[in-house]
Amino acid sequence: ARQFFVGGNFKMNGSISSIKEIVSNLNNAVLDAEVEVVVSPPAIYLQLVRESIRSGIEVAAQNVYDKPNGAFTGEISVSQLKDSNINWAILGHSERRTILKESDQVVASKTKYATENGVSVIWCCGESLEEREAGKTVEVVTKQLEALKAQVSDWSKIVIAYEPIWAIGTGKVATTEQAQEVHKAVREWLKSVSDKVAEDTRILYGGSVSEKNCGELSKQPDIDGFLVGGASLKPAFVDIINCRK
Ligand code: 13P
């Protein structure tokens, strides 16, 4: 069975004091021991979180580069993450795809490099409102997946996050039916890699997940967890981690 997974993507939010508060809240909470939890603070706070968070919670960078080291101003390497005991990275978030202009190929290359060098990846995909309204959701997500498949061969270190862009930060969560439909299509597509990858790969939902809507979403057969933005900065994040209790 796939282990339920909840990620917290802080995005470019927080300060030393607010992040210490989030960590202390998580450290003092009773968390469902069956859920894998990964939090992703801004790069400058990765070590602060790594050194202060309880054991059992992993830490993710929000980006990582696909070269070992060298003249790449502003980038962080996979070996630097591992040196700091950061074993995860979020890659291909829609904000990086749209605002920072990362292509499907760049995201796939970074995912390949990270996973081949020991850093697990929360790989994000999802359609815009315009694409959904044109009936192109599955086509768009499949194209993103195809670009990943063209470069990646080991899927064991990849967790997929389906995040419809129109649901991110808008308060407009996908309905359970809308989310399950895409998750099911992604799992069907994963069979083109192998039946085992389709069975084993966690598919998270992201986009306006809250303590109110997580319960219903978590009951869908192909929803294996969440990637939480805004609510991961609040005490309600604990309720989302515990949504199946
Ligand atoms: P919100 O939960 O704030 O909508 O953000 C979702 C997201 O983008 C997580 O990566």
Tell me the per-residue pLDDT of 1-25, one tens digit each, with 9 for 90 and over.
Answer: 899 999 999 999 999 999 999 999 9
Q: What is the pTM of this model?
A: 0.98
Write down the pLDDT at residue 241: 98
Q: How many CB atoms lie within 10 A of CB 242?
A: 16
Q: At 167, list the tokens.
A: 């649901």
Cβ distance 91 to 121 under 8 Å?
yes
- pLDDT (mean) for 22-41: 98
Q: How confident is the model at residue 185 (pLDDT cuts 50, 70, 90)?
A: very high
Residue 93 among the catalytic residues: yes
Percent of the chain exceeding pLDDT 90 equals 99
Q: What's the mean per-residue pLDDT of the chain? A: 98
Res. 189 pLDDT band, cuts 50 70 90: very high
Residue tagged active-site, from 127, 163, 183, 211:
163
How large a percentage of the chain has pLDDT more than 70?
A: 100
Task: Measure the CA–CA gap between 12 and 93, rounded to whole angstroms.
Answer: 13
Mean pLDDT of 157-169: 98
The three-state secondary structure class of 103 is coil
Ligand 1 close to Cβ of residue 14 (< 6 A): no
pLDDT of residue 48: 98
Decide: 228 in ligand 1 pocket, CB within 6 A.
yes
Regarding the beta carbon of 227 and ligand 1, being less than 6 Å apart is answered: yes
Question: 227, 233, 237: which to mutate for ligand 1, most atoms within 8 A of CB?
Answer: 227
Instruction: Check residue 199 and give its pLDDT.
Output: 98
Q: And the tokens for 139?
A: 């086509």
For the Cβ of 223 lying below 6 angstroms from any atom of ligand 1, the answer is no
pLDDT for res 129:
97
Q: Which of 27, 35, 86 is nearest to 52 (CA)?
A: 27
Query: Is residue 183 flagged as an active site residue?
Result: no
| pLDDT confidence bin for 202, thresholds 50/70/90 | very high
- What span, in angstroms and rounded, lies between the C-alpha atoms of 85 and 2? 24
Provide ipTM, 2 decimals.
Answer: 0.99
Q: Collapse the DSSP code of 226 into the 3-class scheme (helix H, G, I; strand E, B; otherwise coil) and give the result.
A: strand
Which DSSP letter does residue 91 get?
A: E
- What's the average model confidence in pLDDT over 84-93? 98
Q: CB 221: neighbour CB atoms within 10 A?
A: 9
Residue 8 pLDDT: 98
The whole-angstrom separation of Cα 169 and Cα 222 is 23
CA–CA distance, 36 with 3 (Å, rounded to integer): 7
Whole-angstrom distance, CA of residue 102 vs CA of residue 14: 24
The predicted structure's pLDDT at residue 217? 98
Give residue 152's pLDDT. 97
Reading the block at residue 151, the tokens are: 């470069």
Q: To which H or E segment does residue 36 belong?
A: strand 36-40
pLDDT of residue 21: 98
The one-letter code for the residue type at 54 is R
pLDDT at 105: 98
pLDDT at site 81 = 98
